[in-house]
A and B are shown apart, each in its own frame.
Chain A
Amino acid sequence: MLRAIYDWVDERLDITPLWRDVADHEVPEHVNPAHHFSAFIYCFGGLTFFVVVIQILSGMFLAMYYVPDIINAHASVKFLQNEVAMGAIVRGMHHWGASVAIVMLFLHTLRVFFTGSYKHPREFNWVVGMLIFFVMLGLGFTGYLLPWDNKAYFATKVGVQIAASVPYLGPYIATFLQGGDIVGAQTIARFFALHVFFFPAALLALLGAHFILIRRQGISGPL
């Protein structure tokens, strides 16, 4: 039955080569922790992606209860954490996952750096990876404000002030980030938009590029 459906689709869309290419490619033993345990350093990239998946899923579910608004944001976070079943766990996954994602990303970057894997012909993928790093930092910065507690508010205020100290462009950047003159109602709305639409879209596009490049160029050889 399943076979027949698959064949029906495959006959029309020729999907077999798509997944066969990914499924059948050979993975060398030097990145396989089952062969050399030290190869676990090659797992950090995959784990970063896994945490990103956790972040995206938990974020989608949190958005079912969260509202980005200076009056209600804090109340809604408090509600979802304390009164909804497993709220503390789902918010915990998103909160701690953010830190774990940064740690994993950091370790992955160091692995690539120390094994010299960014060298010819993989220069471009290194650049894509660095862009992913910046997007993740952006996600961290914008997400930090959303619970709208004192910590969030004052950290963002400092962050915006730091941006404002950039010569010439600073005041414009600060106004753009705040959406006005102060960190307030307009700031939380645009941080929310950046956090759930703009940055994740950029992240997914960059991740797609990252993976396509890996498949094209293969994993760098053993040292």
Chain B
Amino acid sequence: MSKKLSRRQFLTYTLGSTAGFLGAGMLFPMVRFAVDPALKKGQGGNFIDVNLPLSEVTDKPRSVQFKVHKKDGWYSFDEVLTAWVLRDKGKIIALSPICKHLGCTVSWEANPQYPNTFFCPCHFGRYTKDGTNIPGTPPPKPLDRYETKEANGKLLIGPLMQT
């Protein structure tokens, strides 16, 4: 059985490659254009002075609001973010208030029944002071943390830590 290419097969393969060239020539710029947001690097982390002296960061979490300049396509705007700032074993932690269950907003001791925890009112998720999810409650993961820096006795908050 010789594996010789028939004329028709040869033409069909050539046709297939031509089609591939045409398709790729047309679609390459378009697909690159469409997936660009996925390939763009993040805007990097700017650290923002939240106007909070380090001395005021205590063991008791306090909520801090800060503005982040965001660029959304052709819009740019300031987004107001909140962080729960506290000192845990001497280390400063800034927690994102977004619940890891379904994205509601958690607060410190929001429910008097559960002192000393972050509480999420949507599905009663709870976290310990350092943001660890309490087993048996809905959240699957600990709260996200912001990167922090200290400068001139003041607290700077950066982007969310990559875990």
Do the two chains touch directly in the complex (Cβ atoms below 8 Å apart)?
Answer: yes
Within 1-47 of B, Cβ neighbours of A (below 8 Å) are at 22, 26-27, 29-34, 36, 39
Question: Binding site of A, secondary structure by majority: helix, strand, loop or mixed?
Answer: helix
- Asked whether, in the complex, the Cβ of A57 is within 8 Å of the Cβ of B26, the reply is yes
The winner among A53, A86, A93 for most chain B CB atoms within 10 A is A86
**Cβ-based interface call for A220 (8 A):** no
Closest to A65 in B: B73
- Asked whether, in the complex, the Cβ of A76 is within 8 Å of the Cβ of B34, the reply is no
**Cβ-based interface call for B77 (8 A):** no
> With a CB–CB cut-off of 8 A, which chain B residues contact A64?
33-34
- Asked whether, in the complex, the Cβ of A78 is within 8 Å of the Cβ of B74, the reply is yes
Number of A-B contacts defined by CB within 8 Å: 42
22 contacts between A and B (CB under 8 A): A53-B26, A54-B26, A57-B27, A57-B30, A58-B30, A61-B33, A61-B34, A75-B74, A78-B74, A79-B73, A80-B33, A84-B36, A85-B32, A85-B33, A85-B39, A86-B30, A86-B32, A86-B36, A87-B33, A90-B30, A93-B26, A93-B29
Give the CA-CA distance A78 to B26 in the complex, in Å.
22
Give the CA-CA distance A61 to B30 in the complex, in Å.
6
- Asked whether, in the complex, the Cβ of A85 is within 8 Å of the Cβ of B36, the reply is yes
Within 60-97 of A, Cβ neighbours of B (below 8 Å) are at 61, 64-65, 72, 75-76, 78-80, 84-87, 89-90, 93
Extra inter-chain contacts (8) besides given A58-B30, A61-B31, CB under 8 Å: A64-B33, A72-B74, A79-B74, A85-B32, A89-B29, A89-B33, A90-B30, A93-B29
Closest to B32 in A: A86
The count of chain B contact residues (Cβ–Cβ below 8 Å) is: 13
Give the CA-CA distance A75 to B22 in the complex, in Å.
32
Within 80-133 of A, Cβ neighbours of B (below 8 Å) are at 80, 84-87, 89-90, 93
- How far, in Å, is B129 (CB) from chain A's closest CB? 43
- Asked whether, in the complex, the Cβ of B26 is within 8 Å of the Cβ of A86, the reply is no
Give the CA-CA distance A57 to B30 in the complex, in Å.
8
Closest to B36 in A: A85
Q: Which 3 A-B pairs have the closest CB atoms?
A: A75-B74, A79-B74, A86-B29
Give the CA-CA distance A80 to B29 in the complex, in Å.
13
- Asked whether, in the complex, the Cβ of B74 is within 8 Å of the Cβ of A86, the reply is no
- How far, in Å, is B94 (CB) from chain A's closest CB? 31
> With a CB–CB cut-off of 8 A, which chain A residues contact B26?
53-54, 57, 93
Give the CA-CA distance A50 to B96 in the complex, in Å.
52
> With a CB–CB cut-off of 8 A, which chain B residues contact A89?
29, 33
- How far, in Å, is B82 (CB) from chain A's closest CB? 29
- Asked whether, in the complex, the Cβ of B74 is within 8 Å of the Cβ of A90, the reply is no
Closest to B73 in A: A79
Within 39-57 of A, Cβ neighbours of B (below 8 Å) are at 50, 53-54, 57
Give the CA-CA distance A79 to B31 in the complex, in Å.
17
Give the CA-CA distance A80 to B73 in the complex, in Å.
9
